[in-house]
Chains A and B, each alone.
Chain A
Amino acid sequence: MLRVFLRGANTKAQKCLYGRAHPTNLQHHRHYTSGESSGAAKVVAVGLVTLGSSIGGTVLYAKWDPKFRTAVEKNIPYSDWLLGMALGPNPYSPVTAHKKQVELSQPPSMMTEESRSSKIKKEKNIKEEPSVSTASETTSAPVYSAQSIEESSAEASHIISAISEVPSVPAPHDTEAAVLTEECKECHHHGDTPVPAMVEAVDSMTEGPLKERPAEEVTARLAQQEQEDQDILASVSASLEESLASSAKTTLQAIGAQEAALQAIGSHTHKLKEAMEAEVPPDQKSAQWRDLETALAERRSTVNDAGAALLKARDALDSLRSVIDKAKESKVAAVQPLVLAAEENLHSMVVDLDQAVTKVQSAESEAKIVSQYTELVNEAKRQFQKELSSLTPEIQANWKGLTGKLSADDLNALIAHAHRRIDQLNRELAEQRVREQVHIEAALEQQKLEDQKALDKAVHTATQHSKEEARLEQERKLSELREVMEAEMRTQLRRQAAAHTDHLRDILKVQEQELRSEAEQVLNSKMLEQETHYRQLTQEQLDNFTLDMNAAYARLKGMEEAIDSHVIAEEEARKAHQLWLSVEALSYTLKTAGSDLPTKPLESAVQAIQDSCCNNEFALALASALPEESLRRGVYSEASLRSRFNSLRSMVRRVALIDESHNSLYQYFLSYLQAALLFEEKQAMPPTQLTNEDLDPFKLLSYASYCLEHEDLELAAKFVNQLRGEARRVVQDWLTEARLTLETRQVVTLLSAYANAVGLGTTQAP
């Protein structure tokens, strides 16, 4: 294209140049140029069309194939901007590919997560409703906490599921929460029954939230309760004792009375029997009968007393029973044994009383029999008496004393009566023997009935007694068991208390150790502080003392040193003077250069310097830095060098063109010609910076000459050093000489400066 343009430009130029003088050419050219211009436009248009179509094609293909798009974006800069503008952001960049994969794998887990969470939520809702309705405030707290955990986890899972980018891990928390809720339900169902009681107790005790009563209140309450119990116990025991005592007294009294009655009955019966059966003289008989009557009266009285005492005792026992029952109702535990004991006592008293009563009853029945017998006998006697009196009316008195007074008739009548009576009695006896069986049976029946009755009664009383005994036994056993339990509980509590005390002891020991170690630490730290403080003080003192000592010593030393240094300084000054003198000698020798003659050899002067500054390394080094040539042969002065240079100059000019490659005789000729024809300044001031042009030999020579005229050998040497080729070979000697001179002069100036410095340093101001 460029060529085309150029050609076009050329032809246009030609057209301008040629004008219309050459029509054919022009025509040709015009045709060519017009063709060219239209062609150019065509080419431009075609180029633009291809460019646009290529761009459009790439865009379309990028839209269809994302990989191609990424490749294009990667390789061609700014294409991503263009493609982004045209198509929108790249959906298939390599970063989002991973996300897509993650998304694809996520839905199954997500769905399960959601379903599970929803299920749990439903379950929870179903279960929670009835439980919430029945639950009280206190027990729903754990349920609520579980609910909150559940809710929060469900919410979290929902939120996580909402962010579709991140895969949500099925939280173990959910299952835990579900399990927790289930467990909570179970325990909740269990806890329903004790809940109301607890709630009641809670409500009764405290209002609002449950809180532990303070220890003082508890102890006060306990003390109060104990006090109450003690009071109740005291009262109950007092009442029990009272009633027991009274009942015991009455019972004993009753028993005593019963015993007395028994005794009386027994004695009476015995006496009666004796009186009935014994044959004693009449006066003793009347005494006997009187005894009998007294005994009878006694018996009656004792029986009455016994009856009254029995009633009293029964009343007392009833009252005791009522008291015991009342005492049983009280809840105090300590009352129970007392109650039990009282019951036992009661029972025993009742038993004794009943026994005594039965004894008395049996004695009474016996006595009844005997009395019946006596009555019968008395009846018979009375009958006999009556008959006897009817027969023998005059005999009224005791028939035993009648034997001497009776006549034979009376006796016969009596005997006949007696015989008749005997017959009658025999007949009665026979009748009686006949009716014996029936009488016996009737008697047996009666006896059986009575026996039955007695048995029933005895059985009844015995059962009652045994029931009572069993109950008492049970209660005794219960109390024993309770005691045992209490003892065991006490031992357990004691054990617990012992464990607690052990634990406390351990903790106290540990605490004691900790506190001790703390205290020790504190003590140690304090001690350390004190020690360090003390040490610091002593150290300070010591330091101060040492400082003073050191100061004094230092001053002494200083004074000594000052004196010594004075001496040394004097020495140094002398040496410096010597050095200076020798250096001056050396510099003088430099001046001894004649024109075109070198100076004297510097060897001797250098030797002198070396001798004078044998221990001065710097001077020695400098002295040894002098070049050999100068030592042996001496150096040329600057003036001689200058003059030499001037002669050299022409030579250099002549061979300016000659170097390694240009060194034929023809070059020599040319060089000579140049030297003859070229004129340069004799002396030209050298610029501060050399350019390539300045490296021309002629210029260099003029610079060097200028420098030499201005006493700058060094710069002149530098310029001369820039010569190359044959010119350089020509000035080599001069250059070495100049170098030598410069070196020597440098060393000498250094030495003199050094000597001056040393001299200045060591010179003492007056």
Chain B
Amino acid sequence: MADEHGRKWDRCLADTAVKTVTGISVGIVLSVLFFKRRTWPVSLGSGMGLGMGYSNCQHDFRSPYLLHGNMVKDQ
């Protein structure tokens, strides 16, 4: 169980890194292609990537505490 924490962290960091890099790259591509080499798409992309990674990480860490409910329809 303790390992899981470490594993989570690994996943999380990896995931965040991947997303950030992806975001940066998408930003670079976009900025190169459409936004005349401005920096804002890069930061946007990185921010988005970070944010997504953060969110995923948080969700991953939260997942044990999330409750899933089922709606029961009256028949």
Selecting from A8-16, A54-62, A237-245, A729-737, the interface stretch reads A729-737
Q: Does A663 contact B (CB under 8 A)?
A: yes
Contact between chains at B1 and A730 (CB < 8 Å): yes
Interface string of B33-56 (1 = CB under 8 A from A): 000000000000000000000100
Interface-centre pick from B54, B64, B65 (highest chain A CB count, 10 A) = B65
Whole-angstrom distance between the alpha carbons of A321 and B57 in the complex?
174
Interface string of B54-66 (1 = CB under 8 A from A): 1001100110110
Whole-angstrom distance between the alpha carbons of A169 and B61 in the complex?
100
**Contact partners of A647 in chain B: CB under 8 A:** 2
Contact between chains at B65 and A660 (CB < 8 Å): yes
**Contact partners of A659 in chain B: CB under 8 A:** 65
Contact between chains at B58 and A648 (CB < 8 Å): no
**Contact partners of A732 in chain B: CB under 8 A:** 1
> What are 26 A-B pairs at a CB distance below 8 A?
A647-B2, A648-B2, A651-B2, A651-B5, A655-B5, A658-B61, A659-B65, A660-B65, A663-B61, A663-B65, A664-B58, A664-B62, A665-B57, A665-B58, A665-B61, A668-B61, A729-B1, A729-B64, A730-B1, A730-B5, A731-B1, A731-B2, A732-B1, A733-B2, A734-B1, A734-B2
**Contact partners of B54 in chain A: CB under 8 A:** 665
Whole-angstrom distance between the alpha carbons of A660 and B66 in the complex?
8
Which A690-736 residues have a C-beta within 8 angstroms of B?
Answer: 729-734
Interface residue tally on B, bucketed by range:
10 to 19
**Contact partners of A648 in chain B: CB under 8 A:** 2
Whole-angstrom distance between the alpha carbons of A663 and B58 in the complex?
8
Whole-angstrom distance between the alpha carbons of A610 and B1 in the complex?
35
Instruction: Select from chain A the residue with minimum beta-carbon distance to B64.
Output: A729
Contact between chains at B61 and A730 (CB < 8 Å): no
Which A-B residue pairs are the 7 nearest by beta carbons?
A733-B1, A660-B65, A651-B2, A665-B58, A663-B62, A732-B1, A730-B2
Interface-centre pick from A658, A665, A729 (highest chain B CB count, 10 A) = A665
Query: How many Å from the CB of B50 to the closest CB on chain A?
Result: 11
Instruction: Select from chain A the residue with minimum beta-carbon distance to B57.
Output: A665
Interface-centre pick from B2, B54, B58, B64 (highest chain A CB count, 10 A) = B2
**Contact partners of B5 in chain A: CB under 8 A:** 651, 655, 730
Whole-angstrom distance between the alpha carbons of A734 and B61 in the complex?
20
Instruction: Select from chain B the residue with minimum beta-carbon distance to A644.
Output: B2
Query: How many Å from the CB of A596 to the closest CB on chain B?
Result: 14
**Contact partners of A658 in chain B: CB under 8 A:** 61
Query: How many Å from the CB of A143 to the closest CB on chain B?
Result: 106
**Contact partners of B1 in chain A: CB under 8 A:** 729-734
Whole-angstrom distance between the alpha carbons of A133 and B2 in the complex?
132
**Contact partners of A730 in chain B: CB under 8 A:** 1-2, 5
Whole-angstrom distance between the alpha carbons of A659 and B5 in the complex?
14
Which A476-532 residues have a C-beta within 8 angstroms of B?
Answer: none
Instruction: Select from chain A the residue with minimum beta-carbon distance to B62.
Output: A663
Instruction: Select from chain A the residue with minimum beta-carbon distance to B67.
Output: A660
Whole-angstrom distance between the alpha carbons of A730 and B65 in the complex?
13
Whole-angstrom distance between the alpha carbons of A734 and B58 in the complex?
25
Whole-angstrom distance between the alpha carbons of A665 and B57 in the complex?
8
Whole-angstrom distance between the alpha carbons of A658 and B58 in the complex?
12
Query: How many Å from the CB of B10 to the closest CB on chain A?
Result: 14
**Contact partners of A665 in chain B: CB under 8 A:** 54, 57-58, 61
18 new A-B contacts, CB < 8 A, other than A664-B62, A665-B61, A734-B1, are A648-B2, A655-B5, A658-B61, A659-B65, A663-B58, A663-B61, A663-B65, A665-B54, A665-B57, A729-B1, A729-B64, A730-B1, A730-B2, A730-B5, A731-B1, A731-B2, A733-B1, A734-B2
